[in-house]
Amino acid sequence: MRRKDREVTDINEILQIVSKSKILHMGLFDENYPYIVPLHYGYEYAEDKHELVFFMHGAKEGHKLDLIQNNPNVCIELECDIELVPGGDNPCKYGSTYASIVGNGHVEIVDDEQEKVRGLKLLMKNQTGKEFDIDARMTSSVAVLKASLSEFTAKSRPKV
């Protein structure tokens, strides 16, 4: 990381960034070009593995799932607290406040019904702040994805 002064290393601060963000961008391999898709997510932190785990959902078929089946390597990016920092008449003085996370890992299509339920509950909790009852009937209509990131970095340029 070039800007060490903006690096966030405290896991509690990193989890605050994950909690505040509501959309993640998942990068997959698609032959000659990356394929990036924005997704709602839920998450948990596996402390014993120092791993961020994200759960997403989507259609039960399609290009995204085909790519995951061909290559489960994934890059995840998310951000929050985006705000323009004005620079007046000097365009070089403009910037932005932000907090972001970028990580690499593997993504899988979840088959286990209990894990699908757990993942969708985490997704709804992160997106709405509410607890929901999710049952097998609900999970049968969607694919649930689980991305496990053992490598990740976080940066922040807070408002001053």
Residues 16-56 have pLDDT tens digits of 999 999 999 999 999 999 999 999 999 999 998 999 999 99
Q: Where are the domains of the chain?
A: 4-153
Distance CA 86, CA 74 (A): 35
Strand partners, 96: 84
Residue-level pLDDT at 7? 84
> What pLDDT band is residue 95 in, cutting at 50, 70 and 90?
confident
Residue-level pLDDT at 78? 97
> What pLDDT band is residue 113 in, cutting at 50, 70 and 90?
very high
> Which tokens sit at 147?
């991305």
Percent of the chain scored above 90 by pLDDT?
76
Alpha helices in the chain (DSSP H): 11-20, 63-70, 113-128, 136-139
Q: Is the pLDDT of residue 3 over 90?
A: no
Distance CA 116, CA 138 (A): 10
CB 122 within 8 A of CB 53: no
The CATH T-level fold of domain 4-153 is Pnp Oxidase; Chain A (2.30.110)
